[in-house]
Amino acid sequence: MTGPTPADDLGTPVPLAGPPRRVVSLVPSLTEALAVTVPERLVGATDWCTHPAGLDVARVRGTKNPDRAAIAALAPDLVVVNREENRRLDVDRLRAAGIPVWVTVIESVEEALTSLRRLFGEALGVAEPGWLTEAAAAWATPPPAVGPRVAVPIWRDPWMVVGPRTFAGDVLDRLGLVNAFGAGEERYPHVTVDQIRGADAVLLPDEPYRFTADDGPEAFPGLPVALVSGRDLTWYGPSLAGARARLAAAVATLTSAA
């Protein structure tokens, strides 16, 4: 690739001979972004990469246990990962095998927009996709007045919730909500169900734990509860364009029930 060597979100130079033509993604959000924008370049993804529907690429196991031999066999020009989703060990071993790896760092909506622009523009050499432009416009509006204190469980038995310095936590801020667990050191703290019940309302996403109408709301009698798309709350690909409107609609049900 002509010009200076591009660097990933950690500032690590990523040697590329030219715009990557064979890309493996180890992050579901980024897989969808790549499949929608440069489908002809995506050759591999994890078993957890469920979008877009009907995605037909080689599967290389999970985000935390990728099959490095299978990745190497695909002869990728670039592997795309995320600091939170993937292990440093796998990044180091892929690089040691001579495979360029681009690490993204995304803990807020603004970081998502910046990181995605850099991935497509600096690493892949393509113009900003329309869905990314739409997403930036959708999230540019200032948040509404401060709303209720909400808890967002992501697992049960044991209970875990969205904490500080997380992408989902920033989404809550931008929706005008107060994260009941937005302080402290742990980004996804373990808590008791009684602690969650101390919030004004509860948002229950359908991933990573699949909360449903029959599995989750019963734990919070008397509290407004809304079931939301985990993809809208935690993914930073094409779903970002419509996520704000969909989440705002769910939040409206909380405030009307309060």
Closest CA to 150 of 183, 174, 172: 172
Using one digit for the tens of pLDDT, what is the confidence trace for 42-73? 999 999 999 999 999 999 999 999 999 999 99
Instruction: State the first-to-last Cα distance of the chain, in angstroms, to the nearest integer.
Output: 56
Q: Does any domain span residue 14? A: no
Q: Does any domain span residue 44? A: yes
Residues 6+ positions from 167 with CB-CB distance below 8 Å: 106, 107, 108, 109, 111, 112, 234, 236
Domain tally, the chain: 2
Residue 1 in this model has a pLDDT that exceeds 80: no
Cα–Cα distance, 178 to 146 (Å, whole number): 7
Q: Does any domain span residue 50? A: yes
Does residue 115 sit in the same domain as residue 187? no
Does residue 69 sit in the same domain as residue 109? yes
Does residue 250 sit in the same domain as residue 167? yes
Q: What is the pTM of this model?
A: 0.90
Beta strands in 32-151 (DSSP E): 42-45, 58-59, 78-82, 101-104, 149-151
User: Order of strands, edge to edge, in the sheet holding 190-191?
Assistant: 153-155, 159-161, 190-191
> What is the sign, positive or negative, of the torsion defined by CA atoms of 255, 204, 31, 111?
positive
Does residue 183 sit in the same domain as residue 123? no
Last residue of a domain, one of 128, 162, 192: 128
Using one digit for the tens of pLDDT, what is the confidence trace for 79-116? 999 999 999 999 999 999 999 999 999 999 999 999 99
Domain membership of residue 162 as a residue range: 149-257
Residue 249 burial class via C-beta count within 10 angstroms: exposed 0-12, middle 13-18, buried 19 and up: exposed
Does residue 121 sit in the same domain as residue 201? no
User: Which whole-number Å values give the CA distances from 220 to 101, 151, 162, 179, 206, in the listed order?
Assistant: 43, 11, 17, 17, 17
Cα–Cα distance, 24 to 201 (Å, whole number): 39
pLDDT band at residue 117 using 50, 70 and 90 as cut-offs: very high
Q: Residue 208's domain is classified under what CATH number? A: 3.40.50.1980
Does residue 180 sit in the same domain as residue 123? no
Q: How much of the chain, in percent, has pLDDT values that exceed 70?
A: 98
Does residue 58 sit in the same domain as residue 153? no
Q: How much of the chain, in percent, has pLDDT values that exceed 90?
A: 90
Q: Does any domain span residue 8? A: no
Cα–Cα distance, 119 to 19 (Å, whole number): 11
Identify whether the C-beta of residue 41 lies closer than 8 Å to the C-beta of residue 124.
Answer: yes
Q: Does any domain span residue 136? A: no
Q: Does any domain span residue 17? A: no
Does residue 168 sit in the same domain as residue 83? no
Identify whether the C-beta of residue 8 lies closer than 8 Å to the C-beta of residue 103.
Answer: yes
Q: Does any domain span residue 198? A: yes
Does residue 114 sit in the same domain as residue 158? no
User: Order of strands, edge to edge, in the sheet holding 101-104?
Assistant: 58-59, 42-45, 23-25, 78-82, 101-104
Work out the average pLDDT over 226-252.
94
User: Which whole-number Å values give the CA distances from 68 to 2, 24, 26, 62, 105, in the listed order?
Assistant: 29, 11, 11, 11, 21
Closest CA to 122 of 41, 13, 199: 13
Angle between helices 130-140 and 240-257 (to 10 degrees): 30
Collapsing DSSP states into helix, strand and coil, what is residue 178? strand
Cα–Cα distance, 3 to 33 (Å, whole number): 25
